[in-house]
Structure 1
């Protein structure tokens, strides 16, 4: 059984293609993510993989991102921060959205 995953494409004003994923990425559907990323990368322009609506990302999905790390940027919610950091993706490509919230005047998170 395939885990629900929604993949959509859009284009930013700067011309970069955005591949937005929503749901869960695991062994049952990671090939779909890979195929979509490869289609976008075949166009030659930059690719931003938006994982901000991904609730679960297993090693199969991480592998698909890792093998393309030199050709993509990632947008992710803080939920995925630990796994993206531990596997080394934050060292291999630009990952947006993992920045800690800005501190308030008392030094704590806002």
Structure 2
């Protein structure tokens, strides 16, 4: 059974692609998550503020795309992103932070 995950894409006013994830990202739905990221050819902001669970399969997808990601995270996922080392490879900030330079 696939865990509920909603993915919505859009763009910031500056044209940067945004992918918003809502729900849980785990091994049952990482194919859809990876496909959504693969469909965006350039730099992408991934909004994880409404993700309630992220397992190692979801982290693997993020690591595979880390070179072109900017992550928006909340207090629930911040420790996971830091401990996994993903925060050392890409920009991670909270929803209140302004867009990073160059995005």
Question: What TM-score results when the alignment is normalised by the length of structure 2?
Answer: 0.89
Is the radius of gyration larger for structure 1 or structure 2? Answer: 1
Within 5 A, what are the aligned runs for 1:26-37? 26-37=26-37
Question: What TM-score results when the alignment is normalised by the length of structure 1?
Answer: 0.84
Tell me what 2:45 maps to. Answer: 48
Tell me what 1:83 maps to. Answer: 80
CA contact (8 A) 2:49 2:95 kept: no
Which segments of structure 1 move beyond 4 Å, counting only runs of 4 or more?
Answer: none
Query: What is the number of residues matched between the two proteins?
Result: 96
Tell me what 1:73 maps to. Answer: 70
Query: Which segments of 5 or more consecutive residues in structure 2 lack a partner in the other structure?
Result: 97-103
Residue 4 of structure 1 deviates from its aligned partner by 0.2
What is the root-mean-square deviation of aligned Cα atoms in Å? 1.4
Tell me what 2:9 maps to. Answer: 9
Tell me what 2:23 maps to. Answer: 23
